[in-house]
Amino acid sequence: MEMTSFLLYEPYKEYKRFIEECRNKIYNSTLILHKHHIIPRSMGGDNSKNNLVKLSVDDHIQAHYLFSKCFEENSYEWNVNLKSIRILKNKSLRMKDEMKHLIQKSYIGENNPFYGKSHSEDTKKRLSAKSSEQWKDKSYEDAYKENAELEKEKRRLGVKKYWNEISDEEKEKRVKKMSASLKGKTPWNAAKNFKYLVDDVIYDNIQEALSHFGYKHLRNLKNNHKVIKIRR
């Protein structure tokens, strides 16, 4: 990823036009405005009044988007502007799909700061423990609210796409590995063979008991009530 020595003229004219429009824009007084360096300090810009403009979050994102187009793709400047968008997008109420795609591209291969590196075993364990704690007792509905079904679908499609892209040999290896990992374990549907006695009341299945007490996970039920599994 190298610095480029030139700007693309037509995209730069579009960027400057947008900046001038923003200078003359009257923003709602309730908006928090950001100071944007028209020419970044990393490229020789300064903190003078002529090089600064106040922008809303969405306009700030648009400014970096337009400025990224002034440079060759995968250049240092292109990448830096897209990373700025990545930081700003979490503060925005909207985000164009095109920008999301560009941000993803800016982290592919050598552009990824973690490219060629790997975590130590201690770090992997620490990250795994942190992730487990973060998601403990949380369902998709808890974590993503109204976007729960969308997040589920994204993961389903991701798994399906990955599976379709790997070789038949790799598929066979993974099936064997999964079969070996499940050997000796209780089947997922084993609970159907049991009734549950919870606080001296018998329930036909675990879902009925969970629903009655308002829990989503069996461990929560066990932590707060006397639970006995009864074979049918």
pLDDT of residue 109: 64
Q: Return the SS3 of 91.
A: coil
| In a domain? residue 220 | yes
The dihedrals phi and psi of 185, each to the nearest 5 degrees, come to -90, 155
| In a domain? residue 223 | yes
Cα 150 from Cα 144, distance rounded (Å):
9
pLDDT of residue 191: 57
H or E stretch covering 232: none
pLDDT of residue 140: 72
| In a domain? residue 2 | no
Domain count, the chain: 2
pLDDT of residue 31: 82
| In a domain? residue 55 | yes
Cα 30 from Cα 61, distance rounded (Å):
19
Report the half-sphere exposure of 14 (CA within 13 A, side-chain side).
15
pLDDT of residue 67: 94
Report the half-sphere exposure of 87 (CA within 13 A, side-chain side).
9
Where does a domain end: 74, 90, 111?
111
Question: Do 15 and 105 sit in the same domain of this protein?
Answer: yes
Q: Report yes or no: 172 and 200 within 8 Å, Cβ to Cβ.
A: no
How many C-beta atoms lie closer than 10 Å to residue 17's C-beta?
Answer: 11
Where does a domain end: 90, 111, 132?
111
Structure tokens at 67: 């400025």
Question: Do 106 and 195 sit in the same domain of this protein?
Answer: no
| In a domain? residue 35 | yes
pLDDT tens string for the chain (232 positions)? 455 557 888 999 999 999 999 999 999 888 889 999 999 888 888 999 999 999 998 899 999 999 999 998 888 888 888 888 888 877 665 555 566 666 666 666 666 666 667 778 888 788 778 777 777 777 777 777 777 787 777 777 777 777 888 888 888 888 888 888 777 766 655 656 678 889 888 888 888 888 888 888 888 888 899 888 887 6
Where does a domain end: 93, 111, 129?
111
Residue 187 DSSP one-character state: P
Does the pTM of the predicted model rise above 0.85?
no
| In a domain? residue 128 | no
| In a domain? residue 18 | yes
Instruction: Provide the residue range defining the domain that includes 49.
Output: 9-111
Residue 138 DSSP one-character state: -
pLDDT of residue 178: 82
pLDDT of residue 164: 81
| In a domain? residue 124 | no
How many C-beta atoms lie closer than 10 Å to residue 206's C-beta?
Answer: 19
**Pick from 62, 65, 96, 72: which is nearest to 4 by CA?**
72
